[in-house]
Amino acid sequence: MADQLSQLFAALADPTRRDMVARLAVADATVGQLAEPYDVSLQAVSKHLKVLESAGLVTRGRAAQTRPVHLEAKVFDLMTKWIERYQQQAEERYQRLDAVLDAMNGPADGTVQTDPQEGTAS
Amino acid sequence: MADQLSQLFAALADPTRRDMVARLAVADATVGQLAEPYDVSLQAVSKHLKVLESAGLVTRGRAAQTRPVHLEAKVFDLMTKWIERYQQQAEERYQRLDAVLDAMNGPADGTVQTDPQEGTAS
DNA sequence: ACCTTGATCAACCAGATGGTTGACAACGAG
DNA sequence: CTCGTTGTCAACCATCTGGTTGATCAAGGT
């Protein structure tokens, strides 16, 4: 439905799903094993898994009656790449703003902070 | 309402909000400036900003009639810390599994560098 | 004093989400 | 073959979400 990045963020926005991911990072598990700690029905867990699966975070095999769930850790990269890009951009901008303020504070008193005239507005 | 981590992931699960964050990484902006590229009402954008604000991703000042929006890039750390933790855990597990397979395939090799010793798995 | 501009609040609506219960499909064991 | 185990599908329900429109507030500009 939505782009994968949206699905990834949405999938991890739920504490239960985050906990499932955390446990799957340790070991693969069946649906029943995953459901056991939570106080919800097996069907609810199955739905959560469907969300994780369609986000690409998880794959399911089949062994006997059980459907072992496996974490696909590499898709995390999509999120970290996105985050780091804009985090870094904001960081750099902050550094530049700092430099501007330094330049303004240098020749003056040093306590001035109320006139951050912004030249390039869009 | 929910824990901040959930709010952060949920906030970034929307493409419009991700785009706003991307633009705020470049420069602060007013609500009107933020709304301009999108084909939605100003009120809708205001709602998006409320989501970003309650997640801690942005702060709003006040200058004249406008309400400049500022990105708080440091809260990204909460997400990256979470992601990297489990990504790394899954990665290490994968390495261990690899080592076990290697040991089964060629026990005479000796190039094993990981520690396949798995103790008590709870 | 009066409008104009920028933004929020309030009420409402359609659709998504997370949960439930009940039925049933797939498989292995007896 | 029949039964128990494991899990999914389907329908239903309450709440959340993202959008709308209309009213309102806050601060200048004239």
Please give the full DSSP string across B10-49, using - where no structure is assigned. Answer: HHHTSHHHHHHHHHHHH--B-HHHHHTTSSS-HHHHHHHH
Q: Which residue is nearest to nucleotide D10 (CA to C1')?
A: A43
Chain A environment of B14 (Cβ under 8 Å): 6
Q: How far apart are CA B37 and CA B101, in angstroms?
A: 53
CA atom of B64 to C1′ atom of D30, Å: 17
Could you report how far apart the first and last alpha carbons of chain B are, in Å? 33
| All residues at 6 or more sequence positions from B57 whose CB lies less than 8 Å from its CB, including other chains | B8, B11, B21, B71, B72, B75
Return the residue of A nearest to B16 by Cα: A6
Q: How confident is the model at residue A108 (pLDDT cuts 50, 70, 90)?
A: low
What length does chain B have?
122
Q: Which is more confident, B29 or A121?
A: B29
Percent of chain A predicted with pLDDT > 90:
66
> Do B13 and A9 make contact, defined as CB atoms within 8 angstroms?
yes
Q: How far, in Å, CA of A38 to CA of A31, rounded?
A: 12
Domains of chain A in start order, with CATH, are 4-73 (1.10.10.10)
**From CA B57, how far away is CA B5, in angstroms rounded?**
11
Strand C lies under 7 A from the Cβ of residue B23:
no
Out of A109-113, B25-29, B110-114, give the one with best mean pLDDT: B25-29
The four Cα atoms B73, B79, B84, B89 give a dihedral, to 10 degrees, of 170
- Round to a whole number and report the distance in Å from the CA of A49 to the C1' of D10: 18
Nucleotides of strand D under 7 angstroms from a protein beta carbon: 4-11, 17-23, 26-28
pLDDT digits (tens, 9 = 90+) for A78-99: 999 999 999 998 888 777 666 6
The percent of residues above 90 in pLDDT, for chain B, comes to 66
Shortest distance, CA B69 to any CA of chain A (angstroms)? 13
Written as six digits, the tokens of B68 are 């400049």
Instruction: Please report the pLDDT score of residue B39 as a whole number.
Output: 95
Instruction: Search chain B and give the residue with CA nearest A83.
Output: B76
* pLDDT above 50 (res A113): no
Most confident range, picked from A17-21, B102-106, B109-113, B115-119: A17-21
3-state secondary structure of B87: helix
Q: With bands split at pLDDT 50, 70 and 90, how would you rate the model's confidence at B64? A: confident
Tokens encoding A76: 């995390």
| AA letter at A33 | Q
Q: What is the structure's pLDDT at B93? A: 81
Least confident of A8-17, A37-46, A88-97, B76-85: A88-97
